[in-house]
Structure 1
Amino acid sequence: MTDRHTLLSSIATEADRDISIASLFDAEPDRLENFVMREGPLRADFSKQALDAAGLKALLDMAAKCDLEEWRSKLFSGEKVNTSEDRAVLHMALRGVGGTDENKAEVAAMRQRMADYADTIRADGKFKNIVHIGIGGSDLGPRLVADAFEASAEQSLTLRFAENVDGASVNDAIKGLNPAETLAVVVSKSFGTQETKMNGESVRSWLGEYGNSNMIAVTANRAGAVGFGVAAENVFDFWDWVGGRYSVWSAVGLSLQIAYGPDVFADFLDGARAMDLHFRDQPLQENLPVMMALVGIWNRNGLGYGSQAVIPYSRRLRKFSAFLQQLEMESNGKSATRDGATSTLTCPVIWGDEGTNGQHAFFQWLHQGTSEGRYGGAPVDFVAVLKDHENRPAHHAALLANCFAQSEALMLGKSEEIVRDELGTRPDLDALAPQMTFPGNRPSTTLTLDELSPNALGHLIALYEHKTFVQGIVWNVNSFDQWGVQLGKVLATTILDEMEAGKSGDHDASTTALMQLIK
């Protein structure tokens, strides 16, 4: 295996030249053909990236030297690519791709049980509400998907979420609901997560006499769920080869099936399956997740950008940036390689908000702000839905116009010469003109979905999952563990125990003083 530092240094060397994005369209007449890719309802336009044909070739050569194709085969064949935890990574098997015969049988049985249960609940009519209790991957995925399903699917039950240990979260989730008509779904892979267990206990207390009959659990720790008080027949399983941030495709999505129906959820899985097959079967140079990953590596390791903005121009995708924060930053926010060495630059900060809200907040910085990146600001992934699902065509046209205009403005900018010509001879010209100049040449990718169907959403999420895997291979980090979340959780348990006992243990002066504020 070639040293990653050497390979990524070669990318930095290749990127160490000025590239005018706008000029590439003339210099490379086939640019759109080479930098626009489609899979099903999803189209990705990378042509506004500060990446030319020579740079792309260097990236593809680097990926080959990182044994990407071999690692891809290991992933789909069920080898234990999660090396630090000695686990296979088979969330694709939840969509019907890869895995062993045993995995496939387990998945098929659970999918049938989920569908049957969802159909029974929907037909019975006893429950009018679902309170989904989880955090991290047990919340962000289902919450994102629930918002997106609203665009094209009919919701049969009210769906609320309780995730944060802040009491406001559980209070908001149960506000105005009738316990007799509410099903609580407690979702935790380990069934040891403090926030989920505390919220589960609070909701069970609120359910009162319905605390046993109206609560089910989704977990990889069946014994933990039963010990918590959930009847064994009300526990839905998933497996240790499903990472939490990759788990929405499993029984973690049961609340979605109940609220929107098994057929809608199946269409969602089918969309992801199509992207899985594309990623598995297409050569690197024609592979959409590979292209997306390599563009990100060019921006991070070549151009030196420390962050990546993701701006969905769709209110139904407003949780997408938060979802990707966990997917990418928990997966690849690592500073040690698989063999324990110090890594090179890995995952950038992922951030964003829905358009057009962000235009009235942080777009000032995107257009004119400074950063460590070569051309300033941060690379942007714009995400747009072409079909109007809200029956408000004027709104939708304005939304898309803003999305397309922002990517063009980031690329073209506005020169000081043009600004001076527009301002004329006003006395403050020398001071004002530089302030009104836009440097431009700021990179972006535009992803468009033909419609916000469950199938298209499946394509979109699976695209980013596989992008994350590819980048982890190039950076030589284990994308499927998360040791970095553990230390703070352990210390929080210690501090809570000490606060409840009215004492303070051995802490630094600042932490001790903070704990004393509670007294």
Structure 2
Amino acid sequence: MGPVMVCEALKPYSKRDLKMHFCSNIDGTHMAEILKQCDPETTLFLIASKTFTTQETMTNAGTAKQWILDFHKDESAVAKHFAALSTNATGVSAFGINTDNMFGFWDWVGGRYSLWSAIGTPIALSIGFDNWMEMHAGAHAIDQHFLNAPAKENLPLTLALIGIWYNNFYGAETVAVLPYDQYMHRFAAYFQQGDMESNGKYISKEGEKVSVQTGPVLWGEPGTNGQHAFYQLIHQGTKMIPCDFLAPIETQNKLTKAIGAPVDHHPILLSNYFAQTEALAFGKPADVVKAELEAKGMDAAEIESLVPHKVFEGNRPSNSFL
């Protein structure tokens, strides 16, 4: 999840000289559709598995291996077309991969953090090693902030406390993660792993069943797509759904310059971003709705019937990251 999310999110920094594919689902359709786009003479498979025993990964790896062997008719082709991101040198060698082409990492690295380890090799190949190291520097900076910043200024701590507050004291069972950036379209799915795999437990370290809520369900979709799907529920539904909005200040694609687009897309995107957070916070009261309907020339009876349906109560929580 992590490498594909980052490769998509940082695609503007890629030279795009390599065609990257990611296959994680054991559903054969996933592998079949990827192999249709690949050339067995020029394809390199990176098998990413800490233990080199994960069922989904090794099933897909076995299929890829057979695909290579069917074409090359030579067992030595495996070593030429496969590398491993793993801690299991014995398993890697047994598969037919030269352990000189095994990128190892510490065995205590969990899957949800692994993109920062050798598992992130596809990221380095995509965006280049210098950008890869800059990404690590950014991660180190926020780690140091979390470790050293005073509680009142500590962003990860603040977000964690807000999450506990809404989940345990307001009964908020879900959180919407809403990136207003198409490059981050995989971020919500990735962050489900980062948060829900970590907190999705009901037993404490002491082996006792907990008496509190341990974590909400995370979900989301890039804006503005979600506005035409589920924002109605967030604004006017009966459930409180805290939201995290994310957006880049600058766009990587100024279409007015690139292709002569008649309008600049990014200000429109950001206006939606700000409008949604404002509406969640402050709502739309009945007098404003009534004035809007009167301006459209509706009669009093029609206005009276429509006003309750168009009022936004507001006071719905969100965080904004720019």
Distance 2:34 2:78 in 1: 16
Aligned twin of 2:14: 153
Distance 1:174 1:360 in 2: 34
8 Å contact 2:192–2:219 — kept in the other structure? yes
Task: Work out whether 1:382 is the aligned partner of 2:245.
Answer: yes
Distance 1:325 1:332 in 2: 10
Displacement of 1:264: 1.4
Superposition pairs of residues 99-498 of structure 1, within 5 angstroms: 140-208=1-69, 209=72, 210-343=77-210, 344-371=212-239, 376=240, 378-392=241-255, 394-424=264-294, 425-448=299-322
Distance 1:298 1:141, change over 3 A: same
Structure with more contact order per residue of length (Cα contacts < 8 Å, sep ≥ 6): 1
8 Å contact 2:3–2:115 — kept in the other structure? yes
Displacement of 1:421: 4.1
Cα shift readout 1:418-449 (whole Å, capped 9, x = no counterpart):
3234435432444322111111111100001x
Cα shift readout 1:79-98 (whole Å, capped 9, x = no counterpart):
xxxxxxxxxxxxxxxxxxxx
Displacement of 1:396: 1.1
Cα shift readout 1:20-71 (whole Å, capped 9, x = no counterpart):
xxxxxxxxxxxxxxxxxxxxxxxxxxxxxxxxxxxxxxxxxxxxxxxxxxxx
Distance 1:151 1:241, change over 3 A: same
Distance 1:421 1:267 in 2: 52
Residue identity in the other structure for 2:37? G
Displacement of 1:197: 0.7
Displacement of 1:359: 0.5
Q: Secondary structure at the match of 2:175?
A: strand
TM-score where L is the length of structure 2? 0.90
Displacement of 1:383: 0.4
Displacement of 1:145: 0.7
Distance 1:421 1:399, change over 3 A: closer
8 Å contact 2:13–2:127 — kept in the other structure? no
Distance 1:190 1:401 in 2: 47
Residue identity in the other structure for 1:360? H
CA RMSD of aligned residues (A): 1.5
Displacement of 1:410: 0.8
Q: Secondary structure at the match of 1:181?
A: coil
Distance 1:421 1:213 in 2: 71
Residue identity in the other structure for 1:356? T
Distance 1:145 1:419 in 2: 42
Distance 2:29 2:137 in 1: 36
Distance 1:243 1:177 in 2: 30
Q: Secondary structure at the match of 1:216?
A: strand
Aligned structure 1 segments of 4 or more residues deviating by more than 4 angstroms: none
Distance 1:388 1:422 in 2: 33
Q: Which runs of 5+ in 2 are unaligned?
A: 257-263
Cα shift readout 1:470-515 (whole Å, capped 9, x = no counterpart):
xxxxxxxxxxxxxxxxxxxxxxxxxxxxxxxxxxxxxxxxxxxxxx
8 Å contact 2:177–2:245 — kept in the other structure? yes
Q: Secondary structure at the match of 1:191?
A: coil
Displacement of 1:155: 2.7
Q: Secondary structure at the match of 1:241?
A: coil
Displacement of 1:342: 2.0
Distance 1:439 1:312 in 2: 24
Residue identity in the other structure for 1:142? P
Q: Secondary structure at the match of 2:253?
A: coil
Displacement of 1:348: 0.3
The count of aligned residue pairs is: 304
Q: Secondary structure at the match of 1:276?
A: helix
Distance 1:338 1:247 in 2: 23
Residue identity in the other structure for 1:441? N
Residue identity in the other structure for 2:66? S
